[in-house]
Amino acid sequence: MRGVAYDRFGDASVLRVRNDLPTPPVGPDTVLVRVHAAGVNPVDITIREGNLAGAYPHHFPIIPGWDVAGVVEAAGPAVTAFAAGDEVFGYVRRDDVQWGTTAEFVPAPQRCLAHKPASLGFAEAGALPLAGLTAYQALTEALDIGEGDRLLVHRAAGGVGFFAVQIAVALGAHVIGTASPRNHGFLRDAGVAEVLDYSAGLISGQLPEPVDAVLDLVGGDTLTDAPEQVHDRARIASVVDPLVRELGGRYVFVRPDTHDLEELARMADAGQLRVPIARAFGLQHVPDAQELVAGGHVRGKVVVTLR
């Protein structure tokens, strides 16, 4: 099998295109997906550098990537929701780290997949799952965002942030986003009602009054300031810093969930959720794709396309 893999932890130089990767196993409840596109996310760099070695079993060679869009090649005998030929997308976070999505095939537990939104191409669908699920679960579970809520989203033009503001608008919230001035128009086009410049001082000092909920995608001083930004500390959620719990808020670590993927697909097909692609790379340029994501400040999503 052809794909990108690495045999040791390190910087982007450990990534290699290989033609000799073993064929993935297909378990009873596993779907073998022929990969068309794989999203690139910061966690891919975190794993490659060895920073999650204490959280999951790792088995070399490791194929990077948790986001996928593709076509079902085969399905295990216990799989009932998918069949060969189905177009799918998903967040393929398995219980160990080895079989990632930047290869010709990936074995995906059926809980990680949903049918691809008809309105999205494979590149767009492959860029949506991890960041989209993170935003959706933070808003609907940790923050319980609903009609009329005033929601503050930090780093609103980033991958998770841009999905969060769109989902929140669809849920009926009044959304305030923080971003650099060059992204203010980008956010207003997505339905953000107010945009604040994070470089202009503490956000709590820029708000005329506290909001109902805060989604932190930055951490550090931004998170420390969050209690001054919100009426109720219980409605602070962070996806980057577990210390939010010491402030009385919720830490969100995204999980695979077919129902939530189906909701993202429904929103996309209803025109409520768009997926801007910042740049698409071929398989041989995965190191460049990861370096771009690691540098931050990418407006939209980075993907690797295999077909």
Q: How many CB atoms lie within 10 A of CB 74?
A: 16
Nearest to 159 by CA among 129, 137, 202: 129
Helices (H) and strands (E) counted in the chain, each on its own, are 9, 15
- Ramachandran class of 295: left when φ > 0, alpha when ψ lies in -120 to 50, beta otherwise: alpha
What pLDDT band is residue 134 in, cutting at 50, 70 and 90?
very high
Q: What is the C-alpha separation between 175 and 99, in angstroms, rounded? A: 38
Q: What is the pLDDT of residues 52-84, one digit of tens each?
A: 999 999 999 999 999 999 999 999 999 999 999
Q: How many CB atoms lie within 10 A of CB 216?
A: 28
Mean pLDDT for the stretch of residues 129-139: 98
Detail the DSSP E strand segments found in the chain.
3-5, 16-18, 30-40, 67-75, 87-91, 105-109, 113-115, 150-153, 174-179, 194-197, 213-216, 236-238, 250-251, 277-281, 301-305
Q: pLDDT at position 38, please?
A: 98
Length of the chain as a residue count: 307
Q: Hey, where are the domains in the chain?
A: 3-128+275-305, 131-251
Q: What is the pLDDT of residues 72-119, one digit of tens each?
A: 999 999 999 999 999 999 999 999 999 999 999 999 999 999 999 999
Question: What is the CATH architecture of 3-128+275-305?
Answer: Alpha-Beta Complex (3.90)
Q: pLDDT at position 299, please?
A: 87
Mean pLDDT for the stretch of residues 269-294: 97
Q: What is the C-alpha separation between 277 and 222, in angstroms, rounded? A: 27
Q: pLDDT at position 297, please?
A: 81
Q: What is the C-alpha separation between 214 and 153, in angstroms, rounded? A: 6
- Ramachandran class of 219: left when φ > 0, alpha when ψ lies in -120 to 50, beta otherwise: left
Mean pLDDT for the stretch of residues 229-251: 97
Residue 216 near residue 223, CB atoms below 8 Å: yes
- CA 74 from chain centre, in angstroms, equals 26
Considering the four listed CATH numbers 3.40.50.150, 1.10.1740.10, 3.40.50.1220, 3.40.50.720, the one that applies to the domain covering 131-251 is 3.40.50.720
Residues above pLDDT 70, as percent of the chain: 100
Residue 82 near residue 73, CB atoms below 8 Å: no
Alpha helices by DSSP H, the chain: 42-48, 122-127, 129-137, 159-170, 184-189, 203-206, 220-224, 258-269, 286-294
Which residues, in sequence order, are bridge partners of residue 151? 175, 213
Q: What is the pLDDT of residues 18-42, one digit of tens each?
A: 999 999 999 999 999 999 999 999 9
